[in-house]
Structure 1
Amino acid sequence: MPRQIFQLRVSLADVAPPVWRRVLVPGGYTLDRLHRVIQLAMGWQDCHLHSFDIDGVQYGEPDPDGELALRDELDVRLDAVAAKGGRFLYTYDFGDWWEHEVTVEDVVGAEPDERYPACVGGERACPPEDVGGAFGYARFLAAIADPEHPEYEAMVGWMGRSFDPADFPMERTSTLLRRLA
């Protein structure tokens, strides 16, 4: 029997227009590895805490001080907590609170000549780190779109490079994900 591949749609909550990715992930991946897939697929830099909320249970990196009651994501496989049609949440950066809705669109057998994980779809650029969550990102987009905006210079300077909110480099993303395999 071929190994199971989960087709996941990962969408940023409260962001318009939508920022999303479609990834193919082996069901045997631990949630820790799924975290790395989501980071690379979305375009985050993995410099903040994260957690999964699956059926009311929180998973992540256990807090040695015990402040966050998280089950260890290293001990849990995707295929043990998710099934076709299921949904769960992945939250990244507890300050900016980037909530990602993850939908299990399908579960299929692995193609013998394919490498997983893989990114097979998506739209729009990942927001910059530390932009201030969905509200801050909307403010950032408004400012950089209008050279007459009072915050234009400050936001462009803060970003330090050009930013195209419509850009999604799927080929680059797929290459990064293949390196995880």
Structure 2
Amino acid sequence: MTRRVFQLRVTLDDVTPPVWRQLLVPTGYTLDRVHRVIQFAMGWQDCHLHSFDVDGEQYGEPDPDGDLPVLDELDYRLDDVAGPGTRLRYVYDFGDWWEHEVLVEEVLAADPRVRYPVCVAGERACPPEDVGGPEGYAEFIAALDDPCHPRHLAMWDWIGRRYDPAEFDADRVTTLLRRLT
């Protein structure tokens, strides 16, 4: 039987210019593994809750208190819930509410010489954790870009590292994704 991979396009909603990744992911990955792939690919640090929505069904980590009714993502493979053309919604950080569209662009035969998952392409750096969602990110970028902005120095102090919103390296993401296998 030929192994297959989904070509996924993951796009972060409500952020301009767009932040997106194109990934090759084994079709048999469970949704918890797809979550980790998205975390590594986008640059998130997996510090917050998340969920998938596929045709109105919610998948994620079960809430021990039962306050968030979701199907256990460990029990569902990507190819159980998606096929070519399927659009999944992935939300990360219920406070900042980073919503992503995950589009299954194609199903491809896996190359036996390639270790999956792989990042094929993408654009722009992921917003930093806890920046305040799309609106907070827009404010953050405006402050970084304008030395006269009243929060310019505070934002550089807050980020505490070099940050270039235009920077993206698919090969680096693939190297990080290798940690999953």
**TM-score for the superposition, normalised by structure 1:** 0.99
Measure, in 1, the Cα distance between the counterparts of 2:68 and 2:179. Answer: 31
Question: SS of 2:180's equivalent?
Answer: coil
- What is the root-mean-square deviation of aligned Cα atoms in Å? 0.6
Measure, in 2, the Cα distance between the counterparts of 1:97 and 1:40. Answer: 18
Question: SS of 1:10's equivalent?
Answer: strand
**How far 1:33 sits from its partner (Å)?**
0.3
1:6-17 aligned at under 5 Å gives the runs 6-17=6-17
Measure, in 2, the Cα distance between the counterparts of 1:4 and 1:157. Answer: 45
Please say if 1:144 is aligned against 2:144. Answer: yes
1:67-106 aligned at under 5 Å gives the runs 67-106=67-106
**How far 1:78 sits from its partner (Å)?**
0.2
Could you tell me which residue of structure 2 aligns to residue 21 of structure 1? Answer: 21
Measure, in 2, the Cα distance between the counterparts of 1:78 and 1:177. Answer: 17
Measure, in 2, the Cα distance between the counterparts of 1:35 and 1:97. Answer: 15
Could you tell me which residue of structure 2 aligns to residue 127 of structure 1? Answer: 127
Could you tell me which residue of structure 2 aligns to residue 112 of structure 1? Answer: 112
**TM-score for the superposition, normalised by structure 2:** 0.99
Measure, in 2, the Cα distance between the counterparts of 1:178 and 1:129. Answer: 22
Question: SS of 1:179's equivalent?
Answer: helix
Measure, in 2, the Cα distance between the counterparts of 1:111 and 1:178. Answer: 16
Q: Which amino acid aligns with 1:157?
A: D
Could you tell me which residue of structure 2 aligns to residue 31 of structure 1? Answer: 31
Q: Which amino acid aligns with 1:129?
A: E
**How far 1:115 sits from its partner (Å)?**
0.8
Could you tell me which residue of structure 2 aligns to residue 154 of structure 1? Answer: 154
1:168-179 aligned at under 5 Å gives the runs 168-179=168-179
Question: SS of 1:138's equivalent?
Answer: helix
Q: Which amino acid aligns with 1:168?
A: F
* 1:85-131 CA-partner distances (Å, limit 9, x unpaired): 11010000000000000000000111111110000000000000000
Question: SS of 1:16's equivalent?
Answer: coil
Q: Which amino acid aligns with 1:111?
A: D
Question: SS of 2:94's equivalent?
Answer: coil
Aligned-residue sequence identity (percent) comes to 69
**How far 1:145 sits from its partner (Å)?**
0.2
**How far 1:180 sits from its partner (Å)?**
1.3
**How far 1:37 sits from its partner (Å)?**
0.2
**How far 1:171 sits from its partner (Å)?**
1.6
Figure out how many residues of one structure are paired with residues of the other and give that number. Answer: 181
